[in-house]
Amino acid sequence: MSDKKRLFSLWRELYPENTMEKLDTFLSKTEQKAAAKYDGGTDWYKDAVIYSLYVDLFNKDFSGLIDKLDYLEDLGVNCLWLLPILDSPMRDAGFDIRNYDRIRADLLGFQRGYDKEDQVRVFGNFLKEAHRRGIRVIFDVAINHTSDQNPWFQEAKKSEDNPYRDYYIWSKDTSLYGEARLLFKGIEDSNWEPLGDWYYFHRFFSFQPDLNYRNPEVLLAMSKNLLYWQSMGVDGFRADAIPYLWKEEGTDCENRPKTHTIVKFFRAVLDYAQPGSLLLAEACQKPKEVVRYMGNGDECHAAYHFPLMPMMFKAIAMGSHQPIRYTLSPEVTPEIPAIGQWLTFLRVHDELSLELVYVSEEDRKYIHENYCYKPEWDFRVGEGISARLSELMQRDERKIALAYSLMLTITGSPVVYYGDEFGKFNDETYYDEQIKLTGKDDTRFLVRGHIDWKKLETDLKDPENFHFRVYQMIKSMLNTRKEHIAFGRGDTKFIDVQNADGKLPEQVLAYLRSAKDDNILVLNNLSDKPVKIKHPLPENNVFVLNLNGFSYDEQQQTFLLEPYGFVWLGVL
């Protein structure tokens, strides 16, 4: 079925009572282009090493970001995930979008009210410079909700018969959608916010009203915004909060069938205009639900593996491979479409999430007790921990490197959160500033904050400095990973290793990554004790690709992994 026919079919599923004229008119104005030609074709995301950053916190604006593209290229990055850049009052770090077709003026070096042609010039130049270095660019789009400062909402609240009223969800009965869970437990008291005699529905902050996708105008308006940025050269979009798009009374309003229809529509629109634009699912759900957002290869191309992240932390705390091996077993993680891809991460701009939607109460409690070292790190009443990777690992370089060894090698495409490559600490000053600015005690502000480049440049010249040592390790690992297709495209086969007594040491997580002729054996010691194991593949020749805390006794044919040590071995 062609993309155009697919669009009409999906439209009928969502709006059977509507004529096709609206969609036909929309598509007649949509220009079609060939797929982007440079580096990697349409499944480039499988070889991506993604770096996530806030433009302003990273280096002020897009001009400053251009200045650091060489740093990022040298680090081993080939894809940038720009955290919210669209016009916003910034009450939720930019996820409260005021205008979908405008970038925040300060990021462009302008004042509000700038000429849109200037946006094309400045942002277009940034895209050109990134692409020239082989670096793709994706960014966040919150498609579930807007800011209450969005012109749509400003119009909607004027009167009940305003044309934009139906862009949002209104009721005088706050028991409607009563089974929808409160996502910001401890921060918001309800999913309904009063406005005059009415209430509007929201799943996140009260200043972020949810969009009403029962209105076809909303779907077309959001599609138009995606196409605008695609036409400028953006390589893809992180679809924020997609499980909540379609609301149905009597349900929890998550993962509804028509939510998937909406996602398929967005994918088909992007493919219709220009194949190769990544659609990335931010679906904080169990893998069996997340896999559905890849559909049959006709929804999102990729999705975050949310449960794997906390299980990597649990495995290190326990000194056991069991949490990771179980999480990646078919029992928990179903097979994904051939064009699909998992994204792995250790830290992002949010908390270390321990939502009970994908971790058990036992796991939540264990991880929280083992990593929430300070009361102020607590988020959502025990369902998260707001701390940078270096803080969670108690600034232990061995544990940081081990965590990266897991994240970079075990499956999918990795996401590096800005600053973690040099062990950035929690930023308490920024946290205090943001509480005053937003009026919300959101502990996630601890994991954000500015990079002091002048200080960092000094730190990275000092071999005795903590940040230097972390940076050198992570940079080496990223560049090694980028050179091997097995890490992004290969199968993962867990193997059992034996110690000198023939026993199976639980603290060693071992696996083979294989794609075509690229075969790599990865060994990780998850414990704080050294462990000696027999050569797992004595019939094969192996060679070191990367290591930390590893040595080989050729005479005894044994490997020694120091506490939190690891090794990546090429296999012939």
User: Which DSSP string corresponds to 494-505?
Assistant: EE---BTTS---
Domain assignment of residue 180, yes or no: no
The pLDDT value given to residue 92: 87
Element of type H or E holding 480: helix 466-482
Place of tokens 């094309």: 120
Residue 195: burial class (beta carbons within 10 Å; 0-12, 13-18, 19+): middle
Does residue 498 share a domain with residue 469? no
Interacting residues of 455 by C-beta distance below 8 A, sequence separation 6+: none
403: nearest Cα among 465, 347, 487, 325: 347
Active site residue 140: no
Place of tokens 């949509």: 30
Domain assignment of residue 184, yes or no: no
What's 41's DSSP letter?
Answer: G
Does residue 334 share a domain with residue 255? yes
The domain boundary residue, chosen from 482, 516, 547? 482
Please, what's the b/e burial string for 259-268 (b: 16 or more CB within 10 A of its CB; e: otherwise)?
A: bbbbbbbbbb
Place of tokens 């959502």: 380
Rounded CA separation 393/370 (Å)? 10
Q: What does pTM read for this prediction?
A: 0.95
Which range marks the domain in which residue 541 is found?
Answer: 491-571
Domain assignment of residue 382, yes or no: yes
Does residue 515 share a domain with residue 452? no
Q: What is the pLDDT of residues 233-256, one digit of tens each?
A: 999 999 999 999 999 999 999 999
Does residue 320 share a domain with residue 222? yes
The pLDDT value given to residue 207: 97
Does residue 537 share a domain with residue 476? no
State the alpha helices, DSSP H only, in 94-242: 105-108, 116-132, 151-156, 216-232
Does residue 526 share a domain with residue 459? no
Does residue 223 share a domain with residue 111? yes
Domain assignment of residue 317, yes or no: yes
Domain assignment of residue 29, yes or no: no
Q: Could you give the number of structural domains in the chain? A: 2
Element of type H or E holding 202: none
Out of 148, 282, 355, 378, pick the active-site residue.
Answer: 282
Does residue 521 share a domain with residue 448? no
Active site residue 282: yes
Does residue 341 share a domain with residue 238? yes
Length of the chain: 572
Domain assignment of residue 178, yes or no: no
Contacts of the segment 479-484: beta carbons below 8 A, 24+ positions apart:
479/75, 479/76, 480/545, 480/546, 480/568, 481/49, 481/76, 481/408, 481/409, 481/414, 482/47, 482/49, 482/76, 482/78, 484/513, 484/518, 484/520, 484/545
How many CA atoms lie less than 13 Å away from 426 in the CB half-sphere? 23
Domain assignment of residue 455, yes or no: yes
Element of type H or E holding 347: none
179: nearest Cα among 127, 249, 93: 249
Rounded CA separation 203/417 (Å)? 26
- Residue 186 φ then ψ, to 5°: 90, -10
Does residue 233 share a domain with residue 118? yes
Does residue 377 share a domain with residue 517? no
Those residues of the chain that have pLDDT short of 70 are: 37-40
Does residue 457 share a domain with residue 557? no
Domain assignment of residue 72, yes or no: yes
Rounded CA separation 193/181 (Å)? 15
The domain boundary residue, chosen from 482, 505, 533? 482
CATH of the domain at 554: 2.60.40.1180
What's 445's DSSP letter?
Answer: G
Number of C-beta neighbours around residue 562 at 10 A: 16
CATH of the domain at 114: 3.20.20.80
Out of 87, 96, 210, 240, pick the active-site residue.
Answer: 240
Rounded CA separation 399/409 (Å)? 16
Which structure tokens are listed for 270? 């992007």
Residues 281, 294 contacting (CB under 8 angstroms): yes
The domain boundary residue, chosen from 437, 459, 482? 482
Residues 342, 300 contacting (CB under 8 angstroms): no
Instruction: Determine the longest span between alpha carbons in the chain, in angstroms.
Output: 84
